[in-house]
Amino acid sequence: MSTRFKPKFNIKKGDSVVVITGDDKDLSKPRKVLEIILEKGRVLVEGVNIVTKHTKPSAQNTKGGIEKVEAPIAISNVMLWDAKSKGPSKITRTRVNGKLVRTAKKSGEVIK
């Protein structure tokens, strides 16, 4: 990612998205966004890209062991879920009452 300009993404934390490419591709199952990593252009989605992480024993985790955690995927691999049309949809930004809002192109519905 370029460091000159801050990237603008249409996906925010807490949105429902579908994975459109990769091992976890499923266009009919919406999933929740847990975190956005702006600097790298990546997104953390629940239940997607599960990796095993080996942890050493520490003060917080006295046992250690192997954990399964989600790893981030590229933000270009997800699309916002449109609840009205029940599928993925592109997003446009429109001005309503002087405020920019996200609108789904498929149904024309405002995304909250």
CA distance 14 to 49: 18
Mean local confidence (pLDDT), 2-29: 90
pLDDT score, position 6:
82
Q: What is the DSSP string of 11-80?
A: --TT-EEEE-SSTT-EEEEEEEEEEEETTTTEEEETTSSEEEEEE---SS-SS-EEEEEE--EEGGGEEE
For all residues of the chain together, what is the average pLDDT?
Answer: 92
Query: Tell me: the pLDDT tens digits for 48-98?
Result: 999 999 999 999 989 999 999 999 999 999 999 998 999 999 999 999 999
Domain ranges of the chain: 16-83
pLDDT score, position 1:
65
User: Which CATH number, 2.102.10.10, 2.30.30.30, 3.90.1150.10, 3.40.50.850, labels domain 16-83?
Assistant: 2.30.30.30
